[in-house]
Amino acid sequence: MARHLLFSLTAKDFEVQTFCTGGNGGQHRNAKQNGVRIIHPASGARAEHRDGRDQAKNKAEAFQKLAETKEFKAWHKMECAKRLGLVHLAEEATEEAMRPANIKVEVKDTEGKWCDGQMEDAGR
């Protein structure tokens, strides 16, 4: 099966922020904006990397992390479906996944412990 490019993303599709990082690393670590945060507004995905002293490497790592987020993957899947004219299949799969039988609700009880959402309510 031959592959072809459906769409591409450019720097305009992302918001890139830089910031000073804290922690170990010597006097140069806090003097330069080496930390990188990347936001993809269309999907709501965001990632950051701050471990290295090189901003370019931190940016590459942040982009890699962003591409692996569930928000970006879901957006990418839907965008591909739109471009292929298969959005109705993606919407049907989403509807199926959102059926109440497929959703598990967990809440914290009065003691701060997680439970399945079937808490006993004294006011009932």
Q: What digits encode the pLDDT tens for the residues 3-25?
A: 778 888 998 999 999 988 766 55
Q: Which CATH code is given to the segment(s) 11-107?
A: 3.30.160.20
pTM: 0.64
Q: How high is the mean pLDDT of the chain?
A: 79
Question: Average pLDDT in the 53-79 region?
Answer: 90
Question: Average pLDDT in the 24-49 region?
Answer: 81
> What pLDDT does residue 36 have?
92
Give the tens place of pLDDT for each residue, 82-118. 888 887 776 776 677 667 776 666 777 778 777 765 5
Rounded to 10 degrees, the C-alpha dihedral 60/65/67/68 comes to 150
